[in-house]
Structure 1
Amino acid sequence: MVDSVGGKPFTVGDRNVGRVERAAPLRAAETPARTDAQPAASGLGQVARDLASVPPVDSERVSRIRRAIAEGRFPLAPATVADRLLAFKLNWTGDDQA
Structure 2
Amino acid sequence: MVDSIGSKLSTNKVAGVTRVATPAAAASVTKQPGTAQVPTVAAQLAASAPVDMDRVARIKQAVASGNFPLSPTTIADTLIAARYEWMSHDKA
Deviation beyond 6 Å, 4+ runs, structure 1: none
Q: Report the counterpart of residue 54 of structure 2 in structure 1.
A: 60
The structure with the larger Rg is: 2
More helix by share: 1
In the alignment, structure 1 segments of 5+ residues that lack a partner are 1-41
Match of 2:83 in 1: 89
Deviation at 1:88, TM superposition (A): 1.0
Q: TM-score, normalised by structure 2?
A: 0.51
Identical pairs, percent? 46
Q: C-alpha separation between the residues in 2 aligned to 1:70 and 1:51? A: 31
What's the RMSD between the two structures over aligned residues? 2.3
**Structure 1 CA distance for aligned equivalents of residues 89 and 45 of structure 2:** 30
Question: Which structure 2 segments of 5+ residues have no match?
Answer: 1-36
- Counterpart-to-counterpart distance in 2, 1:71 and 1:95: 39
Q: Which moved more, 1:68-77 or 1:50-59?
A: 50-59
CA distance in 1, matches of 2:73, 2:51: 25
Structure 2 partner of 1:77: 71
Aligned residues: 55
Q: Structure 1, residues 41-68: CA drift from partner, whole Å, max 9, x if none?
A: x96x622111110212111111111000
